[in-house]
């Protein structure tokens, strides 16, 4: 009875970690994955603080509204003068990076959750193959996000 309870508790913990990773990622990922109806354009980074970078927004379509200042997470736009493709969140001046780099960066919390889940699977369920696959997927996602944000 105890091994079954341990297996069940570990599976529930692993599922909760993955759900939390998807939940944390979805806030930014939804704007990148479904940009239809949202303002798209280019942001030029003009200054950065400890948490955010700000700069003017140039819309992608001529009918869209120009914003003198929008904000984006610092981890995305750290270089002054960088021009980034962005999508604005509805009814705000908060930007989310668009394109492949934005897509991968939006899913970084899921990558961390996959790494944590691999440890839980290895220790609790004792399925090493599934743990390696889960950890490898998290590692690949985090590495791809880092590379995409660094290069693009």
Residues of the chain predicted below pLDDT 50: none
Domain 37-97 in CATH 2.60.40? The answer is: no
- Rounded CA separation 109/138 (Å): 9
- Rounded CA separation 148/76 (Å): 10
> Given this model, what pLDDT does residue 60 score?
86
Bridge pairing between strands 95-97 and 52-59: unpaired
- Rounded CA separation 70/118 (Å): 38
> Given this model, what pLDDT does residue 130 score?
95
> Given this model, what pLDDT does residue 152 score?
72
> Given this model, what pLDDT does residue 67 score?
84
pTM: 0.87
| Three-point CA angle 37, 43, 47, nearest 5° | 140
The domain ranges of the chain are 1-35+98-152, 37-97
Question: Which of 100, 132, 108, 106 shows the shortest CA–CA distance to 119?
Answer: 132
Q: What is the pLDDT of residues 117-127, one digit of tens each?
A: 999 999 998 99
- Rounded CA separation 23/29 (Å): 10
Answer whether 149's CB lies under 8 Å from 53's CB: no
- Rounded CA separation 136/57 (Å): 37
Q: Which residue has the tokens 């899921």?
A: 110
Bridge pairing between strands 40-44 and 83-88: antiparallel
């Amino acid at each position: 009875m105890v091994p079954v309870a341990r297996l069940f508790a570990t599976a529930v913990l692993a599922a909760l970690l993955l759900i939390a990773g998807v939940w944390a990622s979805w806030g930014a990922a939804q704007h990148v994955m479904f940009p239809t109806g949202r303002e798209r354009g280019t942001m030029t980074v003009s200054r950065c603080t400890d948490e955010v970078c700000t700069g003017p927004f140039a819309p992608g379509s001529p009918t869209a509204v120009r914003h003198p200042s929008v904000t984006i997470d610092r981890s995305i736009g750290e270089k002054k003068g960088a021009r980034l493709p962005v999508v604005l969140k509805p009814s705000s001046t908060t930007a989310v990076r668009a394109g492949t780099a934005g897509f991968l960066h939006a899913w970084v919390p899921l990558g961390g959750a996959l790494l944590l889940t691999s440890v839980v699977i290895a220790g609790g369920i004792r399925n090493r193959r599934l743990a390696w696959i889960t950890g490898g997927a998290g590692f690949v996602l985090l590495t791809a996000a880092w590379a995409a944000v660094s290069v693009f």
